[in-house]
Structure 1
Amino acid sequence: MHIIEVSNLAKRVALAGNELTILSDIVFTITQGTSVAIIGASGSGKSTLLALLAGLDVPTTGQVYLAGQDITALDEDGRAAVRAERIGFVFQSFQLLPSLTSLENVMLPLELHGRADPEARAWDYLQRVGLEHRLEHYPKQLSGGEQQRVAIARAFASEPQILFADEPTGNLDSKTGANIIELLFELNQQQGTTLVLVTHEQRLADRCDRQITLEAGRIIADVQLSPVAVVAEGTQ
């Protein structure tokens, strides 16, 4: 099953009276349950592509289908509903709310989306990432690696079909980054989540099933590194 389908995607913006092409002629599909790294030099369009796939931005032309639904045909409220139902995020900057504890940061999206027993679910996922002793700590009381683990727990707690990660190890030292990589793929495999990540880090890209390379807004390579996982339709 193709969980993501991208058709003739392009993104152009007006700049100083001219039109700047950020992405052009992007076409690919992603099978449910696989892990895909989007790689390329700075300015190649990686983060823009991730934003388009997640419905955080809209393309100039082309379509993005998530689980068969054309999110490019939806308004912002419609795209937000799809994100709430199907998508999780892990960002380089963690994006934790400083006034909330670790437990509350994980609970918040669960509560907003009406998930059953959000406190128990949040506690379970914080335990899975090894932070059961940091439940009542605020972000400023946590190390960078601990903050990213909270962010990962928050992303996986809603059991999304798709997890988007933008440079998830970018603000971490080498050892901590390696631990975060292991955690991401451990949870990815446990839940059968489709993992799509942008990274400059080759060791992270090499852990993925597939690597899509961008250059100047175009796909110049699309390499399958391991057999495509077969995930039964309807599973997550």
Structure 2
Amino acid sequence: MNSQIDKYKSSIINVDNLCKTVSSNNSDLTILSSVSFKIKAAESVAIIGASGSGKSTLLSLLAGLDVASSGSIEILGQSIGKFDEDGRAALRNQLIGFVFQSFQLLPNLTALENVMLPLELTGNKNAKKLAADLLDRVGLSQRLTHTPNQLSGGEQQRVALARAFVTRPKILFADEPTGNLDSTTGEYIIDLLFELNRENQTTLILVTHDQRLAEHCDRIIELKAGCII
């Protein structure tokens, strides 16, 4: 896989003339129109725009969680539009990590078990140690046996960051990662996110309304009414 990244270092993600329309009340609603851009390996990119501008739809398309109406998305030279749902899921498992606004931790699992889970799904026999080491890295070594309802919002997001990075993904998608946090906690999570990103040389694509977060990125893509401006 590293050789693939070297080969496509100029554009690990290549989006060309991407469009997304949905049917609504017997008419077509355009959510994204003629969106094109490239993202380099290890680059950090913020996608910003007003509510309804198409940010979350674009993120879902890039991650293969949704299918474009037209246009193409290439990841490491592979057109994800050619994959079926199982193929896109396999690509996500191999290359992609996620951080969500609402943390998306499993409520009945401890912090350690939540971080171990993606490793266990791939059969990694060292899951417990790798998960514990990364939770220690994010300052949660004393919270390994705590379930999400025993953790603060900032602690839950740190668990979510550890879970996202534990598989060492090539690409990390983050959807409003500071959206449910107060200003001080948000600043801490921003710093931690970018520290982990630098350490892992991950390609980071995030959707945010938080200007502080966007300004930490190498580049900003702004959407308005489904178009890049």
Per the shorter chain, which TM-score range? Answer: over 0.9
Q: Which residue of 2 aligns with 1:211?
A: 220
Q: Which residue of 1 aligns with 2:114?
A: 105
Q: d(CA) in 1 for partners of 2:114 and 2:45?
A: 27
Q: CA deviation at 1:68?
A: 1.1
Q: Which residue of 2 aligns with 1:29?
A: 38
Q: Which residue of 2 aligns with 1:198?
A: 207
Q: CA deviation at 1:67?
A: 1.0
TM-score for both structures, normalised by structure 2: 0.95
Report SS of the residue matched to 1:96: coil
Q: d(CA) in 2 for partners of 1:56 and 1:124?
A: 30
Matched letter for residue 155 of structure 1: A
User: Over residues 21-48 of structure 1, what are the superposed CA-to-partner deviations in whole Å (9 max), with x where a residue is unaligned?
Assistant: 0001010100000100000000000000
Matched letter for residue 222 of structure 2: T
Q: CA deviation at 1:115?
A: 2.6
Matched letter for residue 165 of structure 2: F
Q: CA deviation at 1:116?
A: 4.0
Q: CA deviation at 1:161?
A: 0.2
Q: d(CA) in 2 for partners of 1:114 and 1:27?
A: 37
Q: d(CA) in 1 for partners of 2:152 and 2:76?
A: 36
Q: d(CA) in 2 for partners of 1:67 and 1:90?
A: 21
Q: d(CA) in 1 for partners of 2:124 and 2:96?
A: 14
Find runs of 4+ consecutive structure 1 residues off by over 2 angstroms.
none
Instruction: Percent identity, please.
Output: 65
Q: CA deviation at 1:113?
A: 1.5
Q: Which residue of 2 aligns with 1:139?
A: 148
User: Over residues 38-83 of structure 1, what are the superposed CA-to-partner deviations in whole Å (9 max), with x where a residue is unaligned?
Assistant: 0000000000000000001000001111111111110010000000
Q: Which residue of 2 aligns with 1:42?
A: 51
Q: d(CA) in 1 for partners of 2:61 and 2:123?
A: 26
Q: Does 1:15 align with 2:24?
A: yes
Q: d(CA) in 2 for partners of 1:113 and 1:20?
A: 39
Report SS of the residue matched to 2:14: strand
* Paired residues for 1:1-236 under 5 Å: 1=9, 2-220=11-229
Q: d(CA) in 2 for partners of 1:139 and 1:193?
A: 26
Q: Which residue of 2 aligns with 1:227?
A: none
Matched letter for residue 19 of structure 1: D
Matched letter for residue 99 of structure 2: V
Gaps in structure 2 of 5+ consecutive residues: 1-8
Q: d(CA) in 2 for partners of 1:72 and 1:195?
A: 21
Matched letter for residue 156 of structure 1: F
Aligned length: 220
Q: d(CA) in 1 for partners of 2:12 and 2:122?
A: 22
What is the CA RMSD across the aligned residues, in angstroms?
A: 0.6
Report SS of the residue matched to 2:65: coil
